[in-house]
Amino acid sequence: MSATPLRVGLVGYGLAGSVFHAPLIATTEGLALDTVVTSNPERQEQARAEHPDVRLAATPDELLARAADLDLVVLASPNKTHVPLATAALKAGLPVVVDKPIAGTAAEARELAALAEERGLLLSVFQNRRWDNDFLTLRRLLAEGELGDVWRFESRFERWRPQLKGGWRESGDPAEIGGLLYDLGSHLVDQALVLFGPVTQVYAESDVRRSGAETDDDTFIALTHAGGVRSHLYASATTAQLGPRFRVLGSKAGYVKYGLDPQEAALREGQRPDTAAAWGTEPESLWGRVGSGESPQTGGGRVEPTVPGDYPAYYAAVAKALLDGGPNPVTALEAASALDVLEAARRSARDQVAVKL
């Protein structure tokens, strides 16, 4: 890699920007966090405290006015801004990383992909949960044939948050692209597509459970993959008893895994991948189990050590793509395929029908 790190402008310093993107950028070889864009005085102070050398800008326009001083723009801003800001950055000649979902529709994602292709620029989507510990473990089990032919894939991002937190993520305004279907559902669907390939049919149930809620907070999606696997995906903020993160059933064995990857909690606590001991590892008490005919909750099956999670691998791949011509870790066209599924799920839930793709 080049001795001079690539200068990164980060738009947004809320949860996504401050907890995920900034720490990962700042600790990736070949990247340097140059500028943070936020108009919020408290977040400006936070950015200065956490990254003393960073420059500040109040608006994306202010950042793009000096595009020549930057090598990459990262968008950790509200969902509704992703398409216009990515378009502006690409037209300014800058590669772009966009937090998920890249857009509100698959058509918009494909338009962005075409613009990036036309300009010869990297456009990548931050699907960090491809580097979750449980997902990496499952990929290894599948590659080694431990489960045989997979018949059913159950995946859950469930929470117990009976009180609303407020903000654009819980807004019912369609322009905000809020709700769990597009938030946690973006991860669930992306993982299912990476593991088991294209989808031919989508069925969904989407509900608004909490008092005062404006958009979906309890959603189920059933996917039929072209290869025959059925994926059952759950995204909920109203789950009083949490189910397993993964339950994967195959012709030889199943894999059951409880608990969330520890990397988000570590980042929220201020830990950093370059200084934390054993980054991405979890206690043995959270390891999953592989077996057949037993109940993992009563100790059935063998304990399966969990592969350490590796969010730093995403930005390492981005740096390699820009500096050495390596592959884009998550393409806009992959994100568009996930949005095809999410749009079908929204239609299915609204019309109470299964949607063919």
**pLDDT for residue 212 is more than 90:** no
Cα 26–Cα 28–Cα 30 angle in degrees, nearest 5: 105
SS3 content of the chain, % helix, strand, coil (to 5): 40, 25, 40
* Mean pLDDT value of segment 183-197: 97
Residue 321 and residue 122: Cα distance in Å, rounded? 8
Domain boundaries, the chain: 6-127+313-328, 129-309+341-351
**Residue 294: per-residue pLDDT:** 84
**Residue 143: per-residue pLDDT:** 98
Cis peptide before 101 (omega within 30 of 0): yes
**pLDDT for residue 177 is more than 90:** no
Residue 116 and residue 112: Cα distance in Å, rounded? 6
Q: Which residue has the tokens 């980054």?
A: 279
Averaged pLDDT score across all residues of the chain: 96
* Mean pLDDT value of segment 318-329: 97
Q: At what angle do helices 332-351 and 184-196 cross, to 10 degrees?
A: 110
**Residue 1: per-residue pLDDT:** 55
Residue 348 and residue 354: Cα distance in Å, rounded? 6
- Phi/psi for 309 (5° steps) reads -70, 155
Residue 256 and residue 292: Cα distance in Å, rounded? 11
**Residue 297: per-residue pLDDT:** 79
**pLDDT for residue 348 is more than 70:** yes
Architecture (CATH level 2) of domain 6-127+313-328: 3-Layer(aba) Sandwich (3.40)
Q: Place domain 129-309+341-351 in its CATH homologous superfamily.
A: Dihydrodipicolinate Reductase; domain 2 (3.30.360.10)
pLDDT by residue (tens digit) across 268-280?
999 999 998 899 9
Query: pTM higher than 0.85 for the full model?
Result: yes
Parallel, antiparallel, or unpaired: how do β-strands 55-57 and 31-37 relate? parallel
**pLDDT for residue 165 is more than 90:** no
* Mean pLDDT value of segment 96-115: 98
Going edge to edge, which strands form the sheet with 230-236? 302-304, 288-291, 254-257, 246-250, 150-158, 230-236, 218-225, 199-207, 355-356
Q: Which letter, b or e, does each residue of 26-58 get, where b requires 16 or more Cβ atoms within 10 Å of its Cβ?
A: bbbebbbbbbbbbeeeebbebbeebbeebbbbe
* Mean pLDDT value of segment 77-96: 98
Residue 135 and residue 333: Cα distance in Å, rounded? 21
pLDDT by residue (tens digit) across 231-283?
999 999 999 999 999 999 999 999 999 999 999 999 999 999 999 889 999 99
* Mean pLDDT value of segment 116-123: 98
**pLDDT for residue 2 is more than 70:** no
pLDDT by residue (tens digit) across 16-74?
999 999 999 999 999 999 999 999 999 999 999 999 999 999 999 999 999 999 999 99
- Phi/psi for 9 (5° steps) reads -100, 125
Q: At what angle do helices 332-351 and 106-119 cross, to 10 degrees?
A: 170
* Mean pLDDT value of segment 207-222: 91
* CA atoms 137, 142, 146, 148: torsion sign: positive
Cα Rg of the chain, angstroms: 20
